[in-house]
Homo-oligomer: A and B are copies of this chain.
Protein backbone atom coordinates (compact mmCIF):
# COMPACT_ATOMS: atom_id res chain seq x y z
CA UNK A 1 0.00 0.00 0.00
CA UNK A 2 1.24 3.41 -0.99
CA UNK A 3 1.33 6.54 1.10
CA UNK A 4 -1.18 8.05 -1.27
CA UNK A 5 -3.70 5.29 -0.79
CA UNK A 6 -3.33 5.61 2.91
CA UNK A 7 -3.87 9.34 2.78
CA UNK A 8 -6.90 8.83 0.60
CA UNK A 9 -8.46 6.65 3.28
CA UNK A 10 -7.69 9.26 5.88
CA UNK A 11 -9.32 11.94 3.75
CA UNK A 12 -12.37 9.80 3.32
CA UNK A 13 -12.59 9.31 7.06
CA UNK A 14 -12.34 13.03 7.66
CA UNK A 15 -14.91 13.81 5.01
CA UNK A 16 -17.50 11.40 6.31
CA UNK A 17 -17.17 12.96 9.72
CA UNK A 18 -17.37 16.54 8.59
CA UNK A 19 -13.77 17.14 9.65
CA UNK A 20 -11.34 19.23 7.69
CA UNK A 21 -8.60 17.86 5.52
CA UNK A 22 -5.74 20.10 6.60
CA UNK A 23 -2.07 20.30 5.76
CA UNK A 24 -0.98 19.55 9.30
CA UNK A 25 -3.10 16.42 9.41
CA UNK A 26 -1.81 15.19 6.10
CA UNK A 27 1.76 15.77 7.16
CA UNK A 28 1.41 13.89 10.41
CA UNK A 29 -0.41 11.04 8.70
CA UNK A 30 2.16 10.81 5.92
CA UNK A 31 5.03 10.90 8.39
CA UNK A 32 3.49 8.06 10.36
CA UNK A 33 2.93 5.93 7.34
CA UNK A 34 6.45 6.48 6.09
CA UNK A 35 7.85 5.37 9.44
CA UNK A 36 8.90 1.77 9.47
CA UNK A 37 7.92 -0.01 12.65
CA UNK A 38 6.99 2.17 15.60
CA UNK A 39 7.34 5.79 16.51
CA UNK A 40 6.44 7.89 19.46
CA UNK A 41 4.87 11.30 19.18
CA UNK A 42 8.08 13.16 19.97
CA UNK A 43 10.06 11.36 17.27
CA UNK A 44 7.37 12.00 14.73
CA UNK A 45 7.39 15.67 15.63
CA UNK A 46 11.15 15.70 15.26
CA UNK A 47 10.99 14.21 11.78
CA UNK A 48 8.42 16.70 10.68
CA UNK A 49 10.64 19.50 11.88
CA UNK A 50 13.59 18.11 9.96
CA UNK A 51 11.51 17.87 6.83
CA UNK A 52 10.72 21.53 7.18
CA UNK A 53 7.06 20.89 7.85
CA UNK A 54 6.76 21.27 11.58
CA UNK A 55 3.60 20.59 13.51
CA UNK A 56 2.89 21.57 17.08
CA UNK A 57 3.01 18.74 19.61
CA UNK A 58 -0.67 19.24 20.31
CA UNK A 59 -1.43 18.74 16.64
CA UNK A 60 0.69 15.61 16.45
CA UNK A 61 -1.16 14.10 19.38
CA UNK A 62 -4.55 15.15 18.10
CA UNK A 63 -3.89 13.75 14.66
CA UNK A 64 -2.47 10.48 15.92
CA UNK A 65 -5.58 10.06 17.99
CA UNK A 66 -7.70 10.63 14.92
CA UNK A 67 -5.72 8.06 12.99
CA UNK A 68 -6.23 5.52 15.73
CA UNK A 69 -9.95 6.21 15.76
CA UNK A 70 -10.01 5.85 12.00
CA UNK A 71 -8.42 2.45 12.33
CA UNK A 72 -5.45 3.62 10.31
CA UNK A 73 -3.01 3.48 13.20
CA UNK A 74 -2.40 1.34 16.22
CA UNK A 75 -1.25 2.62 19.56
CA UNK A 76 0.49 0.62 22.19
CA UNK A 77 2.35 1.27 25.34
CA UNK A 78 5.47 -0.46 26.43
CA UNK A 79 7.68 0.37 29.32
CA UNK A 80 6.34 3.88 29.66
CA UNK A 81 6.74 4.52 25.96
CA UNK A 82 3.64 5.24 23.95
CA UNK A 83 4.18 4.04 20.42
CA UNK A 84 2.22 4.36 17.22
CA UNK A 85 2.38 2.39 14.03
CA UNK A 86 0.53 2.46 10.74
CA UNK A 87 -2.15 -0.20 10.70
CA UNK A 88 -2.81 -0.62 7.01
CA UNK A 89 -0.85 -2.43 4.39
CA UNK A 90 0.82 -4.20 7.25
CA UNK A 91 -0.54 -7.45 8.46
CA UNK A 92 -1.73 -7.72 12.00
CA UNK A 93 1.06 -8.83 14.28
CA UNK A 94 2.11 -9.11 17.88
CA UNK A 95 5.30 -7.98 19.56
CA UNK A 96 8.27 -9.69 21.12
CA UNK A 97 10.31 -7.29 23.21
CA UNK A 98 13.85 -7.83 24.33
CA UNK A 99 14.16 -6.50 27.85
CA UNK A 100 17.92 -6.35 27.54
CA UNK A 101 18.57 -4.49 24.30
CA UNK A 102 15.15 -2.94 23.81
CA UNK A 103 14.70 -4.44 20.38
CA UNK A 104 11.12 -4.97 19.28
CA UNK A 105 10.43 -7.92 17.00
CA UNK A 106 7.14 -8.53 15.28
CA UNK A 107 5.53 -11.87 14.71
CA UNK A 108 2.30 -13.36 13.56
CA UNK A 109 1.01 -16.66 14.73
CA UNK A 110 -2.24 -18.07 13.40
CA UNK A 111 -2.89 -20.59 16.17
CA UNK A 112 -2.43 -17.87 18.75
CA UNK A 113 -4.91 -15.63 16.99
CA UNK A 114 -7.40 -18.45 16.74
CA UNK A 115 -7.16 -19.16 20.41
CA UNK A 116 -7.69 -15.51 21.19
CA UNK A 117 -10.84 -15.52 19.09
CA UNK A 118 -12.07 -18.49 21.07
CA UNK A 119 -11.41 -16.77 24.37
CA UNK A 120 -13.49 -13.81 23.24
CA UNK A 121 -16.31 -16.12 22.33
CA UNK A 122 -16.17 -18.10 25.55
CA UNK A 123 -16.33 -14.95 27.65
CA UNK A 124 -19.02 -13.29 25.63
CA UNK A 125 -16.92 -10.28 24.72
CA UNK A 126 -17.30 -8.68 21.32
CA UNK A 127 -13.73 -8.26 20.05
CA UNK A 128 -12.45 -4.88 19.00
CA UNK A 129 -8.69 -5.26 19.19
CA UNK A 130 -6.05 -7.03 21.14
CA UNK A 131 -2.38 -6.94 21.83
CA UNK A 132 0.06 -9.56 22.91
CA UNK A 133 3.33 -8.43 24.42
CA UNK A 134 5.96 -11.07 24.97
CA UNK A 135 8.91 -9.93 27.03
CA UNK A 136 12.10 -11.89 26.98
CA UNK A 137 15.73 -12.02 26.00
CA UNK A 138 16.39 -12.11 22.29
CA UNK A 139 18.74 -14.69 20.76
CA UNK A 140 21.49 -12.11 20.30
CA UNK A 141 21.41 -11.00 23.91
CA UNK A 142 21.18 -14.44 25.44
CA UNK A 143 23.74 -15.95 23.10
CA UNK A 144 26.69 -13.69 23.87
A residues with a Cβ closer than 8 A to B are: 77-78, 80, 82, 96, 98-99, 105, 107, 109, 111-112, 115-116, 118-120, 123-139, 142
Contacts and interface: CB of A to CB of B under 8 A. Distances in A.
Indicate the member of A98, A125, A132 with the most B CB atoms within 10 Å: A125
A interface secondary structure, majority: strand
Given A112-B112, A115-B115, A116-B112, A130 B127 contact: no
Nearest to A115: B112
B134 A130 contact: yes
A82 B138 CA distance: 25
A124 B109 contact: no
Contact of A130 (B77, B119, B132, B139): B132
A119 B134 CA distance: 9
List 3 A-B pairs, minimum CB-CB distance, nearest first: A125-B136, A124-B139, A126-B137
Contact of A135 (B107, B128, B136): B128
Given A120-B136, A130-B133, 18 more contacts: A77-B77, A77-B78, A77-B80, A80-B82, A96-B119, A107-B123, A111-B115, A112-B115, A116-B134, A124-B139, A126-B137, A128-B135, A128-B136, A131-B132, A131-B133, A131-B135, A132-B132, A132-B133
